[in-house]
Structures are given as C-alpha cells and as structure tokens.
Structure 1
Amino acid sequence: MRVVVVGGGIGGVALAAGLRRRGFEVAAFDRDTEVAATGGYHITLDGRAQSALRELVAPEIMERLLASALRLRDRDAFWDHRGRLLGHGPDLSGDSGVDIDRITLRTLLAEAVGGDLHLGRTVSAVGYDEDGTPQVRFTDAAPVTADLVVGADGAHSLVARHLAGGPTNTPSGIIGFSGRTSLADLSPREQQRLGTRSGLAIGPRGAALYVGYLDPVGNAVLDAPELRTSVTTGPTYIWGAMLPESATTDALRGLRDGELQAALLDRFRARGWAEHTLKIIARADPHSVAAFRFNAASTRAPDLAPWPAGRITALGDAVHATPPTAGMGAGAAIRDAASLLDQLSEVAAGTTTLTVAVSRFEAGMRQRGSEILTLAMKTVRWILATDTAFGAAATAATTPILATAARLRRRH
C-alpha cells in the first residue's frame, strides 16, 4: 500500500514515521524548506500521546525525545494582571506528562521519516485521476498517486477543505503571540514569581498571558546528555500572549520581530498590566516573537470530518483545529496518526478493507477532537468573557479578593 501524506507538521511526520517503520510505502510533502522552520509554544505530551509515539517511532528516537523533554512537576499558577497569585492547579508530581520544544519534536520525527519527507513542495490540489486513483497535484512538480492520501496540513488544510466542500474551522476570536525569554534575562524577583512551572494570567478586557517553563538540560525526563537534541539549551520561558481579535489586534499580525514586540507591550500596558509582569515579553528574543490567529473547529463530534469515508482523509488540526489553550492539540494529532496506522495495518494483514479502516479511524478521531476542543474552548470563552463591560468589571473586582485569599492560605 502506498500512502501520501500532505503536510509535514507534527501529525504528518508522526504518521509518516509510523508508516515507514511498519513497512508501508510512504511519501510526505511539506512546503517548508527547513524542518526547524516552525514556531508556536512548547508541546505537552500526556501519557496517551507518549504511548502513541512509542507505536510510531523506534525506541532510540523515543529515548532521544525523553532526553530532550522536561517532566511536569510544580503545580500550575494563576495570576492576575498585577502579578498577584490567585491560586494553583492540581498536583502534577504523579503526572506522566512531559513538555518538549515543538522544533525538537518535529526534528526528531522528521529524522525518523528520513528521505520519505520531501520539503519545499507546495500542494495545489487533491482529487482523483481518470482511473479513480487518489492524486496529489503540486505547483511546481508532476502529480503523484497513492492508495490513500492523508491531509495533515493544518488548520487551513487544502485536503480537508476538498473533502468538506469548505472550511473545517473558524476564527475563535483570539489573536495569539508567542516568544522565548531566557530565565537569566529576568530579575531574581520575576524568576521567583514565575518559578519552574507553567502559569496563566488573565486580566480585564480579554488580555491573557501564558508562561511555560522549559529546561531539558537541568530537568530532563531521561538523564542522558549524550542523547539530548533539544534546541532549548538553558532555562527558558516560552510564553503566549492573547488578545481578542479586532481590527487593531489583527493589524499586529503584519508586524515582525522588535516592532511586533513593542506593539504587543503597548497593548498590554493600555489594559493596565503591571510593568513587571510584562518583562517576560520585553526581555524576549525579538526574533522569536510571532503572531497568529487561533482557529477552532466545532466542539461537536458529528461536525468533525463531515464526509463519507474514502481513500482521501485527514487528521490533526486539518479536522479538529484546536487553540493551544488546552495544550493538547499536538498530542491529539499524534494519537490520530497512531490510530490510522493501526487501522491500515489491519488492511495490510487482509482483515479489513481500506474504506472500513478509514471509517473506523475517522469515528475515533471525531471523539478525540471533540474532547480536546471542549477543554480548549473553555479557556477561550473565559478570556473573551473578560472583554465585555460586565466581565471586565467582575475581573477587576474579584481578583484582589482571590489574591488576598491566596496570600492568607500561604501564611497558614
């Protein structure tokens, strides 16, 4: 069986790696010219995503991944826009989840795909040739055919749009910004406040700031320096700022580097954020600062992959585009890949047909997508609620009370 994967993001290279490992003929195509040409936040892989990865890649790749990942330990923190602690998340000491840099994960998976990953190839269309065989067409190369075509081409998926007859997601109402800040570039006070954990601050008027901590050198899951391949080589905060979508904030997406960084700081200052809470943005590497829109698919399982099962399908954000507010989008795409691989292995063994296998895969994917989208959209709706007159007033009134309660709990 020959499988063509359109898209070389996390889900695409995970699937291609698994197919290659199990002996399928596979070719994956991505328009990026470099594997490291990817941004966004760091990635959290829960136990389910890690189990899926073990089905997709060889043990030595998994070891290198764990040598480059950070184990979740300290409880998440919640702050207000003045930097006052409001509370903590659940105890993570027994949690099997790990954090890893997105670039590192994509690089390791691409290495597992090897020469079957073709970069710098832009897909222009998908469909069927005159014989009814799935076909992928390119802007600058001859078409290729396959027994199965899988779209792993993200929230703006050409493949999913072909299958659904239109977009599979819509803007969620939030514009996101991301960047990297070295721990050493922050004051001792801010280092102590932020700590070695993830945290989220939400203020009035729909402004929010997520801060994640990553130090695979000092706190790797697997203590094997010789296997470490992380692009993060020291204690680093990888942050994500969020603002409601509007003509003003949407215009920021056209800015780059230091210009974007300065404009973002201005937006948060105008919303009354304390200056010390913004140092994480102000001290970031300007070249790491980027902007993007949060898109989201429907939270209802029946709305996802709304097409008859066939020899063209899709996975990951192409089907269940998920805002990063749940930290589960990449993990879900990896689980999609492992599920599809299992179904295709049954086809190869002669125990089922390709159409039935794809149908089963898509049914499971709908449930996975609905689950993670429901979680992610809770935070999105919470952020957007503070952008109403009532929400802004309620946020301003309640956060001092919560901060006082948190301070009293610490004293006792």
Structure 2
Amino acid sequence: MRVVVVGGGIGGLALGAGLRRRGYEVAVYDRDTDVASTGGYHITLDGRAQSALRELVAPATVRRLLASGSALRLRDRDAFWDRRGRLLGHGPELGGDSGIDVDRITLRVLLAEEAGDALHLGRAVSGVGQDADGTPHVLLDDGDRVPADLVVGADGTHSVVARYLAGGRTSSPAGIVGFSGRTLRADLGPGERQRLGTRSGLAVGPRGAALYVGFLDPVGNAALDAPELRMSVTTGPTYIWGAMFPESTATDSLRGLRAGALRDALVSRFDGQGWARHTLEVVARADPRSVAAYRFHAAPTRAAALAPWPAGRVTALGDAVHATPPTAGMGAGAAIRDAAALLRHLGDVRDGRTTTAGAVALFEAGMRRRGSEVLTRGMRTVRLILATDSTLGTAALALGTPVLTAAARLRNR
C-alpha cells in the first residue's frame, strides 16, 4: 500500500513515522524546508497521546522525548487569577498526572527523524484528485502528480485535502486573536517569580482580555532523568505565555506588529484595561524575538459535523478536521492519537480483513469522537473569555471576583 501524507506538522510526521516503521510505502510532503522552523512554544501530551506515540515510533525515541519533556506531576497546581494578580482558585493536584510538556521544535525534530527519507521538505501540495478508477493523487506546486492507494491530509487548519473532501472550509475563526511569547523565569523580579511559581495559570479580565502563563522546565522537571538523551530547546525554567483578545479592528492592528513593538503594544493594551502592572511583567520581559500573533480557529464541536464526507481513499486528520483552539491544550495530542488509530485500521487492510474504505470509515468515526472531545474542552474557555466582552459580562466579573478571591484566601488559611 502506498500512502501519501500531505503536511509535515505533528500529526503528519507521526503518521509518516508509524507507516514507515511498519513497512508501508509512504511519502510525507511539506512546504517547510526546515522542520525546526516552527513556533518555539510547547505542546502538552497526556497519557493517551503518549500511548499513541509508542505505537508510532521506536522506544528509544520515546525515551528521548521523555528526557526532553517537562513532567506535569512535578509542577505546582495550576492557578486562576484576576487582572490584579489576586488568586481566585487552584486546579487539581498534579502528583499523579502522567502528562508532559515538550517544545514543539523538539517533538517535530524527533518525529522527522523517525519519518526519515519518507519526508520530502520544500514540496507543497496544491491540489488533490481521483482518477476515473478511484485512484487518488496529489498535485505538487512544481507540477508533479503523485498517485497513491490512500491520501491523508494532515495539513492543518487551512487544509487543501479537507477542503477538497468537504467542498469548503472545515473550521472558522473562533473570535479570539492570540499572542504568545517566552520569558525566562530568571528575568522576572522576585515578587512575580513567587506569585507565578512553578505552575501554569490563567487570568481573565473584562472585555475579553485573558493571559495564560505556562511553566516549562525540561531540565529541572525532566520526565525522565537521562540528561544524555536531552534535546530540548528550552534549557531552563521558562514561562510560555499567551495573551488573548476578542477579534476587533484594534486587535487586528496588533497583528501587523512584530517583536519588541508587538510586545510593548500588548503591555499597553492590558494596562489600558486596568491590569496591574506586576501581572504584565511576564509579557514586558519576554524575548522580543519570540513574540508572535495567531488567530484562533475552531471546527464545530458536534461529532456529527466533523469529517462531513463519505469514507473513501482520501481522508484527513488533526487540525485539518478538528481545528482546536490552544485553550484545550490537547490539539497536537489528538492528532497523534488520530495517526495511531489510522495505522491500526490500515493493519486490518494489510491482513485482508477489510478494504481501505472500510478502514477509513472506522477511523473517521473514532476521529469524530476524539475531535468533539477536545473541541468541547477548548471552546469552553473561549466562550468564558468572550462572555466578559460585554457590559453584562464585565459587571458579572466585577461582582464575582471579590467573592472568589475571599473564598480562595479562606481555603489557604
């Protein structure tokens, strides 16, 4: 069986790696020329995503991943703050959590190594089609036409493959624009280091403004104590933060800024909405080269609305089907689980137990359930943030915050 995978993001590389390891003829095409040329942020992989990864790559690669990952179980409990930095509550205990945070670059490089010569960089797919006998093919920008027994779109939110299958886009803007960056813990003052701690947290203010601060330390909090295997991009305690604002003309103007100008504009935007100056220190002291803007996209949360096409010899996975806002923290993990599930079902085709279309039908049914789960979780936070972007929402936040703050203080006595 020859499989063509369109897109060399996390899901596409994971599938390519798994197919190559199982002896399939596979080609992964990606427009990037360097797998390390990607956002320098982090990805959370829960226990299910890690189990799926073990089906796709060699045990030695999993060990390198764990040695380069920051263990959630070693973090403090997550926190929830208001815009003045007052504690509103905590998340669950993480002592028994098997999840890890890992640099996106690190994970992509590891998967690319596993994909090996199946990965073709600098080759963009411009179209998909099927011959009269049903044989699918992809068209490359350079004019090449590549036939396959199965084509899989892993080409993200604006997927060429999913658009071909659905006859239109499979996701839409979620109403929020995000801005992200990296700040070394050592660059913060003692007060903010103590307040933020070794945890991740979220603060939501009026008018839809929110600030997520994630803690990443693949060295001090390594999931596997094997420094000789470590290849993390992050080499010390670091906060990976994400600022969020509702889409508007003012927010769109920020998207045109870069580096230090964007960082300073974000601080000014929060400051103008009454955020305490100390809560903005993590943004103000970020590495300006790390600051970037991106638009939240989301697919429908209903499982029945995902992958709305008849099963056949062209399919898609990950964000191409269930584009998920980063507020879920599960998008990449879901794509890896998609890849492992498709590989399992293709094993039934190889063994003669079903047809390619039959395997794809079973795969897509499971993918719809996975996608609905992560989308529901991610959109819950998006809707919470957007709910404050109104006079009523702002008033409710103002009334509720003192009560929540007082309750948190009583619990901590």
Indicate conservation of the 8 Å contact 2:72/2:100, yes or no: yes
1:162 aligns with 2:164: yes
Deviates more, 1:69-78 or 1:396-405: 396-405
Aligned to 1:61: 61
Matches of 1:45 and 1:356 in 2, distance apart?
A: 29
1:40–1:178 CA contact under 8 A, matched in 2: no
List per-residue Cα deviations over 1:83-120 (Å, max 9, x = no partner): 11100001110111111111111111111111211111
Distance in 2 separating the partners of 1:125 and 1:182: 42
1:391 partnered with 2:393: yes
Residue 4 (structure 2) aligns with? 4
Task: Name the SS for the 1:32 alignment partner.
Answer: coil
- Report the count of equivalent residues: 411
* Residues 9-408 of structure 1 mapped to structure 2, 5 A cutoff: 9-39=9-39, 41-73=41-73, 74-129=76-131, 131-408=133-410
Q: Measure, in 1, the Cα distance between the counterparts of 2:105 and 2:394.
A: 36
Amino acid corresponding to residue 148 of structure 1 in structure 2: L
* Paired residues of 2:43 and 2:104 also in contact (CA < 8 A): yes
In the aligned structure 2, how far is the partner of 1:141 from the partner of 1:178? 37
Answer whether contact 1:67 1:220 (CA < 8 A) is retained: yes
Residue type of the alignment partner of 1:210 = Y
Q: Is the 8 A contact 1:206 1:383 kept in 2?
A: yes
- The CA distance in 1 between the partners of 2:113 and 2:87, in whole Å, is 42
Deviates more, 1:25-34 or 1:398-407: 398-407
Deviation at 1:130, TM superposition (A): 5.2
**Hey, what's the Cα distance between the residues in 2 that align with 1:175 and 1:122?**
27
1:404 CA displacement: 2.2
1:212–1:239: 8 Å Cα contact kept in structure 2?
yes
State the distance in 2 between where 1:104 and 1:166 align: 33
Report the more deviating stretch, 103-112 or 315-324.
Answer: 103-112
| C-alpha distance in 1 between matches for 2:256 and 2:28 | 30
Structure 1, 399-408 or 48-57: larger mean CA deviation: 399-408
Match of 1:254, SS? Answer: coil
For 2:397 and 2:191, locate their aligned partners in 1 and report how far apart those are by CA, in whole Å: 25
**Distance in 2 of aligned mates of 1:342 and 1:130:** 29
**How far did 1:264 drift?**
1.4
Partner of 2:412: helix, strand, or coil?
A: helix
* Equivalent AA in structure 1 for residue 151 of structure 2: V
For the Cα contact (< 8 Å) 1:15–1:341, is it kept in 2? yes
- Is contact 1:42–1:99 with CA below 8 Å preserved after alignment? yes
Q: Structure 2: how far apart are the matches of 1:31 and 1:129?
A: 25
Contact 2:40 2:290 in 1 (8 A): no
In 1: Cα distance, 2:267 partner to 2:138 partner = 43
The structural deviation recorded for 1:249 is 0.5
Shift of 1:400: 2.2
The superposition leaves residues 46-89 of structure 1 with CA deviations (integer Å, 9 ceiling, x where unpaired) of: 11101000000000000000000111132110000001110000
Structure 1: where are the runs of 5+ without partners? none
Cα RMSD over matched residues? 1.0
Q: C-alpha deviations, 1:143-195, integer Å up to 9, x for none?
A: 11111000000011111011000010111000011110001100111111111
Q: Matches of 2:326 and 2:40 in 1, distance apart?
A: 9
Q: Aligned letter for 1:316?
A: G
State the TM-score, normalizing by the size of structure 2: 0.98
Moved over 3 A (4+): 129-132
How far did residue 278 of structure 1 move?
0.6
Q: Secondary structure at the match of 1:213?
A: strand
1: CA distance, partners of 2:282 / 2:143: 44
Q: Which amino acid aligns with 1:387?
A: D
Aligned equivalents of 1:251, 1:182: Cα separation in 2: 27
Q: CA deviation at 1:141?
A: 4.2
Residues in 2 aligned to 1:131 and 1:145: alpha-carbon distance in whole angstroms: 12
Distance 2:83 2:121 in 1: 42
For residues 229 and 386 of structure 2, the distance between their equivalents in structure 1, rounded to whole angstroms, comes to 43
How far does residue 132 in structure 1 lie from its aligned partner after superposition? 3.4
Tell me the SS of whatever aligns to 1:339: helix
Distance in 2 (CA, whole Å) between partners of 1:56 and 1:206 is: 40
Aligned partners of 1:56, 1:273: CA distance in 2, in Å? 45
Check the 8 A contact 1:265/1:278 in 2, yes or no: yes
Asked if 2 retains the 8 angstrom alpha-carbon contact of 1:41 and 1:240, the reply is: no
**Contact preservation (8 Å) 2:345, 2:360:** yes
Give the partner amino acid of 2:112.
Answer: A
Structure 1 CA distance for aligned equivalents of residues 112 and 211 of structure 2: 31
User: Counterparts of 2:103 and 2:133 in 1: how far apart (Å)?
Assistant: 43
Q: CA deviation at 1:134?
A: 0.9
- CA drift of 1:251 comes to 2.3
